[in-house]
Structure 1
Amino acid sequence: MELVLLTQQIMNGLVNGMTYVLIATGLTLVFGVLHIINFAHGEFYMLGAFFTFFAAKLLGLDYISAGIVATLGVAVLGILANRFFFWPLRKEHEFTVLLSSLGLALLLTNGGELIFGADPKYVASPFADGIVPLGPVIVTQQRMLIFAVGALVLVLLYLFIQKTRMGKMMRATAQNPEGAALTGVDIRRVYTVTFMVACGLAALAGALVGPTAMIFPTVGTWAVLKGFIVVVLGGLGSIPGALIGGLILGVVEALAGGYISMGFAQAIGFSIIIVVLLWRPNGLFGAARRA
């Protein structure tokens, strides 16, 4: 019985961890390529969940179609966010850009409360109540969907960055923006695509996790905190680090919640950050940046 409980907690932690990975990958992509810390990233997660809810309710779409529409819609909003809040400040001090992202986060949160209402909502999914028995371990179909889609998206993102022309442009920009521009790389296009992909990933996470918990306009605060914990844990700018860091955080939280208390599970992420920063200031997979 003890082994079954342990296995169940680990499985729950891996699924939760994949959610963190989807959120953190967008954050680390923006930082790794553009060297921008985007505090508004969690709000795009919130928008993904609400857009899925309203696409299903108002347009009559099924859950999968609503999630796709929401992801694409928020990706377009990411383009607009870059156009008005980040691209014009690209030559300003990093602190100015950070303040701009905080302002955007407040704008989206308060705008969400005004448009969507403050009452919690629930994203309906046909997979929410379905059970997948894995031996003695039980997992809902929705959680299996989260893990499967998350793994597929990470593989596709890796292939995009490594194999496509835009991916090569993004890697060149990450290494040396000025040098990349001199060789003909369209830096503005790189900014646009990076924000579009990052916001789309956050929205996809919101669409997938929405059926597992109530959603409300301030849920983005939770999302961005989890994302930053994972990014710091794995290493700023490291996508493999985001993957490993997210899964580690998910499993550790699940074990702490199952064997100690849920309250302690919420605090353990910050404890992990302190330990990692004392041991490896650049994260588990982060590389030291040159001054």
Structure 2
Amino acid sequence: MSATILLQALLSGMTNGAIYALIAVGLTLVFGVMRVVNFAHGEFLMLAMYGGYLAWAHLGLDPIIAVVLVVPALLALGVGLFETLIRPAMRVPEINQMAVTLGLSLLLQYLALMVFKADNLLIVQDRSTASLWIGPVLLQMPQAIAALAAVLLLIGLYIVLRKTDFGLIMRAVSQSRDGAALSGIDIGRTYRWAMGIGIGTLGVAGPLMASVLYVNPHIGALFTLKAFVIVIVGGMGSFGGVLLGALLVGVAESVAGVLTTASVAAAVPFALLILVMLLRPEGLMPVGGGSRA
């Protein structure tokens, strides 16, 4: 393998890793604050991708502009999810909570299948085939835009969580719900916003990814699995762990795709998960060593 091909694989992997981090950060935020595992996370990404596609197909909106419409819609869906399903489910054992979100995942898949059928849809624009040269390697423009948006949003989210009173409240609740309640923090309101933001971040990823990947009713399941791998590898509830885990998964996947076949590359994230669980069960950046969401 030549140096140029390796550099190309590394750049592609880092680009994919940034996008994966954007998808997974909402999952780790919800778990870090609420201790709820949302198996329907990928299905909300699927809805965001359909939202971006419909805005382009019927309103003629660029995916970048469509983000402005899709983010509030996903934020509202997140708040609605908490009020209708998650709040009642938090009164029952964790296995019941997981059953609720798993059932929601299947429901959303089949509803999407009824509405959109099984067709693969893709946003096609003039820049869909445009490329950006970075030294000797090539980066497709849609991937570059999605990765840049991911990096900007992740930086913004990190600043909010670490430098604002709102972020302080989130971190206080994640560290001790009872202690936060005794300090006068409204736990229900904090949970509501955590779920809303956790789902709302997908409103940025969805429209931009709809110009990179085909959207269909089952694409969410693929990204749910990858998001869980990233969150577990990085350390459950760790913001820094999500970034590290996403980059590792993206680069490992990309390099494996160059060295081996596509089917082997698809299995690499899960092999990485097994390896990390054997050597470091708490994850690469557990909550004590990283920035807790």
TM-score by length of 1: 0.95
Of 272-281 and 139-148, the range deviating more from structure 2: 139-148
Taking the aligned partners of 1:228 and 1:22, their CA distance within structure 2 comes to 13
Instruction: Kindly indicate whether the alpha-carbon contact (under 8 Å) linking 2:46 and 2:220 is maintained by their aligned counterparts in 1.
Output: yes
Taking the aligned partners of 1:44 and 1:150, their CA distance within structure 2 comes to 17
Q: Which residue of structure 1 aligns with residue 68 of structure 2?
A: 68
Q: Which residue of structure 2 aligns with residue 51 of structure 1?
A: 51
Taking the aligned partners of 1:126 and 1:236, their CA distance within structure 2 comes to 40
What amino acid is aligned across from residue 178 of structure 1 in structure 2? D
- Map 1:175-254 → 2, pairs under 5 A: 175-254=175-254
Taking the aligned partners of 1:245 and 1:36, their CA distance within structure 2 comes to 20
Taking the aligned partners of 1:130 and 1:117, their CA distance within structure 2 comes to 30
Instruction: Kindly indicate whether the alpha-carbon contact (under 8 Å) linking 1:30 and 1:36 is maintained by their aligned counterparts in 2.
Output: yes
Taking the aligned partners of 2:26 and 2:126, their CA distance within structure 1 comes to 27
Say yes or no: does 1:100 pair with 2:100.
yes
Of 126-135 and 229-238, the range deviating more from structure 2: 126-135
Q: Which residue of structure 2 aligns with residue 82 of structure 1?
A: 82
Taking the aligned partners of 1:287 and 1:191, their CA distance within structure 2 comes to 19
Taking the aligned partners of 2:126 and 2:170, their CA distance within structure 1 comes to 38
Q: Which residue of structure 1 aligns with residue 10 of structure 2?
A: 10
Taking the aligned partners of 2:53 and 2:138, their CA distance within structure 1 comes to 27
Taking the aligned partners of 1:227 and 1:155, their CA distance within structure 2 comes to 19
Q: How many residues align?
A: 288
Taking the aligned partners of 1:125 and 1:193, their CA distance within structure 2 comes to 35
Shift of 1:126: 4.5
Shift of 1:257: 0.5
Taking the aligned partners of 2:190 and 2:148, their CA distance within structure 1 comes to 28
Q: Which residue of structure 1 aligns with residue 291 of structure 2?
A: none
Shift of 1:79: 0.9
Q: Which residue of structure 1 aligns with residue 115 of structure 2?
A: 115
Taking the aligned partners of 1:61 and 1:96, their CA distance within structure 2 comes to 41
What amino acid is aligned across from residue 56 of structure 1 in structure 2? W
In the alignment, structure 2 segments of 5+ residues that lack a partner are: 289-293
Q: Which residue of structure 1 aligns with residue 145 of structure 2?
A: 145
SS at match of 2:139: strand
Taking the aligned partners of 1:159 and 1:77, their CA distance within structure 2 comes to 24
Instruction: Kindly indicate whether the alpha-carbon contact (under 8 Å) linking 1:24 and 1:231 is maintained by their aligned counterparts in 2.
Output: yes
What amino acid is aligned across from residue 192 of structure 1 in structure 2? R
Instruction: Kindly indicate whether the alpha-carbon contact (under 8 Å) linking 1:32 and 1:174 is maintained by their aligned counterparts in 2.
Output: yes
Taking the aligned partners of 2:214 and 2:158, their CA distance within structure 1 comes to 31
Instruction: Kindly indicate whether the alpha-carbon contact (under 8 Å) linking 2:63 and 2:211 is maintained by their aligned counterparts in 1.
Output: no
Shift of 1:52: 0.5
What amino acid is aligned across from residue 104 of structure 1 in structure 2? L
Taking the aligned partners of 2:181 and 2:125, their CA distance within structure 1 comes to 45
Taking the aligned partners of 1:34 and 1:244, their CA distance within structure 2 comes to 22
Say yes or no: does 1:280 pair with 2:280.
yes
**Per-residue CA shift, 1:217-248, capped at 9, x if unaligned?**
11010010000010111000001100011011
SS at match of 1:212: coil
**Per-residue CA shift, 1:238-276, capped at 9, x if unaligned?**
011000110111001101011111111111111111110
SS at match of 2:36: coil
What amino acid is aligned across from residue 51 of structure 1 in structure 2? G
Of 110-119 and 224-233, the range deviating more from structure 2: 110-119
Shift of 1:75: 1.6
What amino acid is aligned across from residue 52 of structure 1 in structure 2? G
Taking the aligned partners of 1:60 and 1:142, their CA distance within structure 2 comes to 17
